[in-house]
Structure 1
Amino acid sequence: MRGREAKRLSRLLIGVALAAVPAAVAVAAALLWPRSSTASATPAQDSADAGFARDMAIHHQQAVELSFIVRDRTSDEDVRRLAYDVINTQANQRGMLLGRLDAWDLPKSSQQSPMSWMQHDMPGMEAMGYKPHDGSLMPGMATNTQMDQLRTAGGRQAEIRYLRLLTAHHKGGIAMSQAAAGMAKTEQVRRLAQGMVESQEAEMKLMADMLKERGATA
């Protein structure tokens, strides 16, 4: 009994520590942000830079949540390693995005609908044929139903569900990042968005191989 409680406490402490990463990175990003650049190149509240930072922070948070779920639903080392990578990478990037908003002295939430920043130069979600539903706020995001299904799955079934959900998640994230890389006015956001495209494309190739090994496809 004591061993079970110790294991549960260990998981809780790990979750708390990782959950604190975005806030810590956000503070660091705000402190390290050059004052001269913020004074001369602060994006507007409805800009692509600010909109992408807000939306992708939400998008990344779900990828982190998906990865925490599968971490406890399988003992497969490859899947758990991928989950840890996603948790660390996307929590770190989320902190950087929130740090940008802090540095610009812009709110981290908005009354505007998700991805409305894309409507300046290209179709937004409605024009793309996507409408938020069942907790899926942006393209690629899992629905509440899909999240619940992952929570109740186990072993190989959980692995396949996770890999499929994360593949779709990356597809949506890549589309958003490509738009931001072309629309953002600040070099920092353009560079960060392009980095997301490249890293998530690489992970999609890895997940395609992992699904194939499990007799499944995306």
Structure 2
Amino acid sequence: MTEAGSTVEHPPDGPPLDGAGGSGEHGGEPRWTRPLVAIAAAFGLLLLGAAAGLLITLPGSGSQSVPGPVDIGFAQDMTVHHQQAVEMASWERDHTTDPALQQLAYDIESTQTEQIGRMQGWLGLWGTSAFPVGGHMAWMGEGSGHDHGGAAAPTAVATMPGMASTEDLRAMRAATGNELDVLFLQLMLRHHEGGVPMLQYAAERAQVPEVRNLAAQMLRAQTSESEYLTHLLTERGGQPLPLQGVR
């Protein structure tokens, strides 16, 4: 997505999941209509989020801050991080038969789609690239005198922590039933955990109040959601995956 409200492009950090496809009915609704409804809803959420992002510079918004490297880097990287979560949630929503997981996947998809729209709205207003160029997370520690995880991070990394690999996504597409549900919960839990350092850093060090507030809101929501994901995973006989580091 290069402008607020336009279609979100797939970033290079991971392959997009395929569409739901299939035929038949689910709850009395033809299966082929579900992707169309989801696309329309996602587009509406992107527009809503982008409109919320535009409020950052409207008179009376209370924001006079100029964005710095943390604001810009966070919005770019978290857009990429969120996009993969949205795609995994969309796949789970359309392929699980578990009502609890269908609702959870829908909630993750809709919430993070709206947040993507908000961050993309900011980036458009700031006149910066919609996505990071040359890697991720260089904004964590760069020129701030702070460090990340005990070590300075002045250079970009190829992959953010928590991101699902090509093999992970392929396995998710191939899985069905409880195997699919367990894998989704494992990947989403690891994904949430991987985003925590970025959320904490932006909540503490972003220059724009709205960016700090959004990062803090994301951190609270995803911490609570991680507890729920862990509960659902345990109920279904699964164990959390180890969190891989940046690379």
**Is the structural similarity TM-score above 0.5?**
yes
Aligned to 1:70: 92
1:7 to 19, 30, 34: 30
**Contact 2:71 2:208 (8 Å CA) reproduced:** yes
| In structure 2, C-alpha distance between the alignment counterparts of 1:177 and 1:39, rounded to whole Å | 20
Distance 1:106 1:22, change over 3 A: farther
Sort the Cα spacing of 1:30 and 1:194 in 2 relative to 1 into closer, same or farther, 3 A: closer
Give the letter aligned to residue 42 of structure 1.
Answer: V
Decide whether the 8 Å contact of 1:71 with 1:83 is kept in 2: yes
The answer to whether the 8 Å contact 2:81/2:195 transfers is: yes
Q: Deviations over 1:79-132 (max 9, x none)?
A: 1110000011111111111111123232213424211100322238x968x953
Q: Assess if the C-alpha contact under 8 Å between 1:67 and 1:84 holds in 2.
A: yes
SS in 1 for 2:81: helix
Residues 90 and 105, structure 2, Cα contact 8 Å, conserved in 1: yes
Alignment length (residue pairs): 208
The letter of the residue matching 2:230 is: A
Contact 1:38 1:104 in 2 (8 A): no
Asked if the contact 2:141–2:152 (Cα under 8 Å) also holds between the matched residues in 1, the reply is no
- Alpha-carbon distance in structure 2 between the residues aligned to 1:188 and 1:209: 32
Match for residue 186 of structure 2?
164
1:176-195 counterparts in 2 under 5 A?
176-195=198-217
Deviates more, 1:200-209 or 1:114-123: 114-123
Counterpart mapping for 1:68-217 below 5 A: 68-120=90-142, 121-123=146-148, 132=158, 137-217=159-239
| Superposed displacement of residue 212, structure 1 | 1.3
2:56 aligns with one of 27, 33, 56 = 33
In the TM superposition, residue 8 of structure 1 has moved relative to its aligned partner by 4.1
Which ranges in structure 1 are unaligned for 5 or more consecutive residues?
none
Deviation larger for 73-82 or 34-43 = 34-43
Structure 1: distance between partners of 2:79 and 2:35? 23
> Share of identical aligned residues, percent?
36
Is the 2:46–2:113 contact (alpha carbons within 8 Å) kept by the matching residues of 1?
no
- Whether 2:67 is the aligned partner of 1:43: answer yes
Query: Structure 2: any 5+ residue segments left out of the alignment?
Result: 1-22, 241-247
1:38 and 1:103 in contact (8 A); partners too: no
Query: How far 1:22 moved relative to its partner?
Result: 5.0
Q: Distance in 1 between matches of 2:157 and 2:72?
A: 21
- Quick one: distance in 2 between partners of 1:187 and 1:39? 7
Tell me how far 1:179 sits from its aligned partner. Answer: 1.0
Q: How far off is 1:19 after superposition?
A: 3.4
Deviates more, 1:110-119 or 1:49-58: 110-119
Alignment RMSD, CA only? 2.5
Structure 2 length as normaliser, TM-score? 0.76
Residue 119 of structure 1 aligns to a residue whose secondary structure is: coil
Q: 2:43 aligns with which of 8, 14, 20?
A: 20
Q: CA deviation at 1:18?
A: 3.3
Secondary structure of residue in 1 paired with 2:39: helix
